[in-house]
Structure 1
Amino acid sequence: MDLNLRKAILTNIATNDQEQLEATIVDAIQNGEEKMLPGLGVLFELIWKQSDEQDKQDMINALEQGVKQASAAE
């Protein structure tokens, strides 16, 4: 069976508006279910591809801070 997870995720959100996309992200994070991680990864990939270098650096900085905070909380 050939399963293209990326394509399936993109198909599922293809007609979503901004509000629906935000709800998808918030729901995935709040539920904390492992099965939602691939979808968040695909969404992040889309964001990354649409971002300029400054936006990418801002995301990396935010990610670094988030990793540090998560590590300190453990």
Structure 2
Amino acid sequence: MDLNIRKAIYANISNNDQEQLEATIVDAINNGEEKMLPGLGVLFELIWNHSNEEEKKEMISSLESGIQNDL
């Protein structure tokens, strides 16, 4: 079986507005189910690929802070 998660995620969100995209992210995080992680990964990949170097540095800094605060 050839399953392309990226294509499935893109198809599911292709017509979503900002409010719907936010709801998708919040729902996936609040739900806490492992099966949602690949979708969040695809969304993060989209964000990363469309961010400039300063935005990427901010994300890494935020990630580092989050990891340190959650340990």
TM-score, length basis structure 1: 0.93
Q: CA deviation at 1:55?
A: 0.2
Of all paired residues, the percent bearing the same amino acid is: 70
Alpha-carbon distance in structure 2 between the residues aligned to 1:2 and 1:61: 36
Flag structure 2 segments of 5+ consecutive residues without an equivalent. none
Q: Deviations over 1:37-73 (max 9, x none)?
A: 00100000000011000000000000000011111xx
| 1:58 corresponding residue in structure 2 | 58
| 2:13 corresponding residue in structure 1 | 13
The 5-angstrom pairing of residues 1-74 of structure 1 reads 1-71=1-71
The count of aligned residue pairs is 71
Alpha-carbon distance in structure 1 between the residues aligned to 2:65 and 2:38: 22
Alpha-carbon distance in structure 2 between the residues aligned to 1:57 and 1:24: 25
Q: Which consecutive aligned stretches of 4+ in structure 1 deviate over 2 angstroms post-superposition?
A: none
Q: CA deviation at 1:35?
A: 0.6
Aligned-pair Cα RMSD in Å: 0.6
Alpha-carbon distance in structure 2 between the residues aligned to 1:29 and 1:46: 17
Flag structure 1 segments of 5+ consecutive residues without an equivalent. none
